[in-house]
Amino acid sequence: MAAITYKNASCIYEGSDKLAVDNLNLDIQDGEFIVLVGPSGSGKSTALRMLAGLEDIDEGSIEIGGKDMTGVPSKDRDIAMVFQNYALYPNKTVAENMGFALKLRGVSSAERRKKVEEAAKVLDLTEHLDRKPAKLSGGQRQRVAMGRAIVREPQVFCMDEPLSNLDAKLRVQTRTQIAALQRRLGTTTVYVTHDQVEAMTMGDRVAVLRFGKLQQFASPNELYDRPANAFVAGFIGSPAMNLVTLPVAADGVKIGGSTLELERENLTKLNEAGLSEVTFGIRPEQLEITDSGGVEVVVDLVEDLGSEAYVYTHATSGVELVARCNPRKAPRLADTIRLHRAPEGVVHLFHPQTGERLN
Amino acid sequence: MRVPEFRLRAPTPGLLTLPWDRPLSDWIVPEVPLRDIAVGPSRHLVKFVDADDQLWAVKDMPPRLAIKEYDVLRRLEDMGLPAVRPAGLVLQPEFETAILVTRYLEGSWQYRRLFMRLPPDEPKHRARLFDAMAGLLVELHRHGVFWGDCSLANTLFSRDGQSLQAWLVDAETSEVHPSLSRGQRQHDLEILVENVSMGMLDLAERLDSSEELQDTLIAEAEHIQVRYDTLWETLHAEPVFGFTDRYRVEGTIRRLNELGFAVDELSMQPVSTSPDQFRVNVAVGDRRYHAQRLRDLTGLDVGEGQARILLSDLHAYQAQLCREVGHDVDESTAAQLWVIEVLRPYQQLAHDAVHHAGTAIQAYCDLLEVRWLLSEQAGQDVGTNKALAALARDVIPNDSAAKLAIAEVPTAPFAVLEIDDDP
């Protein structure tokens, strides 16, 4: 196990004039489960591969356990890439499949068996150790593949979209298992995904990247409650946060003819910034349907999920808003309704040009 | 019901009429002409369909992954790399899944089929397999392709003269980059070595081989690293010569040609620190140097390994011709005569001798190899007829490449599935 530090680490792809990873700084504690998340081209996989030694560190450095990894070959970094290497061998038992990497490294048969048994216990595969892979379910085979990495007892697990090749059901199941497993093993883990739900449900902390730059590195709750900028605000959460650029009025922000009132401290922040417009954000669960006041909108779509419903609407000014409501009391398509901010509803204000958080 | 979405590159009638509106797990005989081809454990459901007298592999996958693999396979095809050819992609939104269709590689085998029918414990056959794997990985890497899950189970093999050609058949984890870093290549190679070792041990287990063989197999598989490095270094070496020694460039080019690589561009740049020296960089093209040469001379389109053998035979014929007529005969004239007088009749005889297994060209290459090996044993040229007889009765050296023809003997090829027992 080891702490990991990215210090102003950058990577530039051959023939490109843009940095794939731009001056990345991350302090990952020993035993933490970190998720790198971002859209395609955000640099998340490149950042992981720099750690694994698969991409060069062109500027800055990456340390594992306090040791600079610049120029250190991948095999000498004591890391394991999980899941990429999936091949299972039909005539070998589960135990043999799991322990083979150790055999190649010259580990004795007794020691191999011990490590395999320990890993099998953690992976809930003990009773299958002497079976052949053909007798296992899809999920169990995934776990054997994971076992091949675990038995090596690396300092760091690197996982690059490990679940992307699984069907939806197995993906959710394996997601939970990986997170639980990592907590039992306590091995520092860096996990890459494009799926923000995966990121939020698995990581101790999540690093959001965009165009190679770190946007925010924080706990899932912090990312959700206090996104550092409009990009993070829009990226984290499903459905996404309502984000609209609105004119600033004396007592709030204007949506068409209506005003959405803001607290004094938020108004002060807007005044200090000297802005006539602001990017205003509010999560769907913090908008409520009301009988009077608020903003008048027309219902475009109602998404009934059983336990909750999401109402997709537009105001006459063209502003689109999504609100969460009780599915038993959901409005119907084309209804005109009014939305207001819930009593304890939090609003997020971002600079309309830079996207930086203002409040 | 949401109808499937098609991208078919081979829209043959048989393929079009397959039940694309149903999940692959529901495809059963006799409604669907499925064939029984053994594959190792796979993370996805794979079936083989016989449509329009061709075999197609159909694989059920999450749509995102299927689209990615289809695109990677298209790019590998565009680059002319040895990989399975993508034939189509069918998205099934109704079931939130997709089916990737690839053309089954004719005349290719899984390593298990190949090795289970060969004489046991013949290091030369294994060496051919490892050379093929190292060669495939180098080809992929120099085109910027990271394989990610290189294993014997994800590869098919076909015969090419005295060597084997490896074909990538699973690109689920593959990525195409402008170029690969040393770390990426090394990582891919480590995966390859581990998986090939395990694949060979798995096979040894099935063949009830001795315990002692295991260490040998592991050592041999680990040696793939050396095979890979040697080939990579040869292709990427930048030797420095003095200006007066520039004739030595020819040696560099010859070494590349011998390995089958044609020179695409040669650049010579003065070394900044010593102006009387220059650094040579050779950009190579496809690994078809001999194949292209033979094609130019005869119009024959064969594999690189076959072409290497056939060109040697042609040159021996040319030398004999010169002796017979008493003056020089140019290569082009000799080539025309060689095709008519030697290749055509003898490839037919050789093909008859092996009961038409494989191609006639490969049978002729086998005949040449057997004649050479028997002549070496006898200490004199045994002649073509004796070699033909040996080939026909399969009394040939166990380690000869010709022994690999056994894989081409159709015993029970791809029986029609009678009971669909897929999960």
Q: What is the DSSP string of A237-304?
A: SSSPPEEEEEEB-SSEEEETTEEEE--HHHHHHHHHHT-SEEEEEE-GGGEEEESSSSEEEEEEEEEE
pLDDT at B415: 60
pLDDT bin (cut points 50, 70, 90) of residue B409 is low
User: Is B21 within the bounds of a domain?
Assistant: yes
A201 and A283 co-located in one domain: no
CB B163 within 8 A of CB B82: no
Residue A97 and residue A59 share a domain: yes
| Contact across the interface for B183 and A133, Cβ inside 8 Å | no
Q: Are B118 and B62 part of one and the same domain?
A: no
Stretch (H or E) spanning A221: helix A220-225
Chain A contact residues (CB < 8 Å to B)? 13-15, 49, 52-56, 73-75, 81, 84-92, 97, 100-101, 103-104, 133-134, 138, 141-142, 164-168
Residues of B in contact with A15 (CB under 8 A): 178
ipTM for the assembly: 0.78
Residues 6+ apart with CB under 8 A from B138: B228, B231, B232, B235
Query: Residue B57: inside a domain, yes or no?
Result: yes
Q: Which residues of B touch A168 (CB under 8 A)?
A: 62, 96
Structural domain count, chain A:
2
Number of structural domains chain B divides into = 4
| Residues B170 and B212 reside in one and the same domain | yes
Question: Residues of B with CB below 8 A from A101's CB?
Answer: 194
Q: In this structure, are A286 and A155 located in the same domain?
A: no
CB contact under 8 A, B202 and A52: no
Query: Residue B210 gets which letter from DSSP?
Result: -
pLDDT tens figures, B63-122? 988 999 999 999 999 999 999 999 999 999 999 899 999 998 888 888 888 888 887 788
| B347 or B38, greater pLDDT | B347
Q: What is the pLDDT of residues B171-182, one digit of tens each?
A: 988 999 999 999
Single-letter code of the amino acid located at A248: V
Mean pLDDT is lowest, of A1-10, A84-93, B275-284, B304-313, for A84-93
Radius of gyration over alpha carbons of chain A, in Å?
Answer: 25
* Confidence bin at B422 (pLDDT 50/70/90): very low
- Residue A16 three-state SS: coil
Last residue of a domain, one of B221, B254, B284: B284
Of A15, A90, A167, the CB nearest to B41: A90
Q: Is residue B415 part of a domain?
A: no
Enumerate chain B positions whose Cβ falls within 8 A of a Cβ in A. Answer: 40-41, 43-44, 61-62, 64-65, 96-97, 148-149, 151, 153-154, 172-173, 177-179, 181, 183-184, 186-187, 190-191, 193-195, 197-199, 201-203, 205-206, 218, 222
Q: Are B163 and B136 in contact (CB under 8 A)?
A: no
Are B229 and B241 found together in one domain?
Answer: no
Q: Are residues B227 and B265 in the same domain?
A: no
The per-residue pLDDT for A57 is 93
Residue B420: per-residue pLDDT: 42
What pLDDT does B423 receive?
39
CB contact under 8 A, A164 and B187: no
A142 CA to chain B: closest CA distance, Å?
8
Instruction: Verify that B50 and B99 share a domain, yes or no.
Output: yes
Say if A355 falls within a structural domain.
Answer: no
Q: Looking at residues B379-407, what average pLDDT do you find?
A: 90
Residue A112 C-alpha, separation from nearest chain B C-alpha, in angstroms: 15
Q: According to the model, what pLDDT value does residue A333 have?
A: 94
Decide if B191 and A84 are in contact by the 8 Å CB cutoff. yes
Residues A247, A174 share a domain = no
Query: What is the pLDDT averaged over residues B202-207?
Result: 82
The answer to whether B187 contacts A81, with C-beta atoms less than 8 Å apart, is: yes
Q: Answer yes or no: do A87 and B149 touch at CB < 8 A.
A: yes
Q: How many CB atoms lie within 10 A of CB A184?
A: 10
Are B328 and B271 contained in the same domain? no
Asked if B96 and B116 sit in the same domain, the reply is no
Cα Rg of chain B (Å, integer): 24
Q: Exposed, middle or buried by CB within 10 Å (0-12, 13-18, 19+), for B98?
A: buried
Q: Are residues B138 and B149 in the same domain?
A: yes
Mark whether B178 and B99 lie in a shared domain: no
Domain stop point among B48, B73, B103: B103
- The verdict on residue B419 lying in a domain is no
Q: Which residues of B touch A163 (CB under 8 A)?
A: none
Residue B83's domain spans which residues? 5-103
Q: Is the pLDDT of residue B284 over 60?
A: yes
CA distance A50 to chain B (A): 9
Domain co-membership, A39 together with A109: yes
**Is the same domain home to A227 and A244?**
no
* Interchain CB distance below 8 Å, A165 and B40: no
* B418 has pLDDT over 60: no
Let me know: does B213 contact B112? Beta carbons within 8 Å. Answer: no
Same-domain check for residues A267 and A174: no
* Co-location of A229 and A311 in the same domain: no
Binned average pLDDT, 10 residues per bin, chain A of 359 residues: 93 84 96 95 94 93 95 89 72 90 90 93 91 84 85 92 77 85 92 93 96 97 97 95 94 87 90 92 95 91 94 93 94 94 92 95
* Residues of chain B above pLDDT 90, percent: 64
**Domain containing residue B139: CATH number:** 1.10.510.10
Q: Are residues B130 and B223 in the same domain?
A: yes
Domain boundary among A185, A208, A233: A233
**Final residue of a domain: which of B59, B84, B103?**
B103
Is B210 part of any domain? yes
Q: In this structure, what CATH number is given to the domain that contains residue A287?
A: 2.40.50.140
User: What is the distance in angstroms between the Cα of B409 and the nearest Cα belonging to chain A?
Assistant: 25
- For residue B40, is pLDDT > 70? no
Instruction: Verify whether the Cβ–Cβ distance B41 to A166 is below 8 Å.
Output: no
In a domain, B128, yes or no: yes
CA torsion sign, A75 to A81 to A84 to A85?
A: positive
pLDDT for position A224: 97
Using CB atoms, pick whichever of B65, B177, B195 lies closest to residue A85. B195
A87 contacts B154? CB cut-off 8 A: yes
A-B contacts at Cβ under 8 angstroms? 102
> Which pTM does this prediction carry?
0.86
* Same-domain check for residues A198 and A312: no
Residues of chain B with C-beta less than 8 angstroms from the C-beta of A166? 43, 62
* Cβ <8 Å between A87 and B186: no
The two structure tokens encoding residue A38: 């971002």
Quick one: A166 and A269 in the same domain?
no
- Judged by CB atoms closer than 8 Å, whether chains meet at A90 and B96 is answered as no
Instruction: Answer yes or no: is B151 within a domain.
Output: yes
Domain span at A261: 240-350
CB contact under 8 A, A84 and B62: no
Helix (H, G, I), strand (E, B) or coil at A69: coil
Chain A closest-CA separation from residue B216 CA (Å): 12
Q: Is residue A113 located within the same domain as residue A15?
A: yes
Hey, are the CB atoms on B179 and A14 less than 8 Å from each other? yes
Question: Which residues, including other chains, have CB under 8 Å from residue A233's CB and lie 6 or more apart?
Answer: A227, A241, A243, A281, A348, A350
A-chain residues within 8 Å CB-CB of B189?
A: none
Answer whether residue A96 is part of any domain.
Answer: yes
pLDDT number for residue B419: 46
Indicate the residue among A215, A233, A251 that finishes a domain: A233
Taking an 8 Å cut-off on Cβ atoms, the answer to whether A167 and B151 are in contact is no
Sorted by sequence, the CB contacts under 8 Å of residue A280 that are 6+ apart come out as A242, A243, A244, A245, A246, A253, A260, A347, A348, A349, A350
Same-domain check for residues A251 and A336: yes
B contact test, residue of A18, A98, A144, A165 with most B CBs within 10 A: A165
Write down the mean pLDDT value for chain B: 90
Is B417 within a domain? no
pLDDT at res. A83: 63
- Which residues of B are less than 8 Å from A76 in CB distance? none
Q: A233, A267, A301 — which closes off a domain? A: A233
Is the pLDDT confidence value at B248 over 90?
no
Indicate which of A86, A148, A159, A193 best probes the interface with B, i.e. most B CBs within 10 Å of its own CB: A86
Q: Is the domain of B252 the same as that of B183? A: no
Query: CATH number for the domain including A196?
Result: 3.40.50.300
Residues B229 and B242 in one domain: no
Closest partner residue to A104 among B178, B186, B218, by Cβ?
Answer: B218
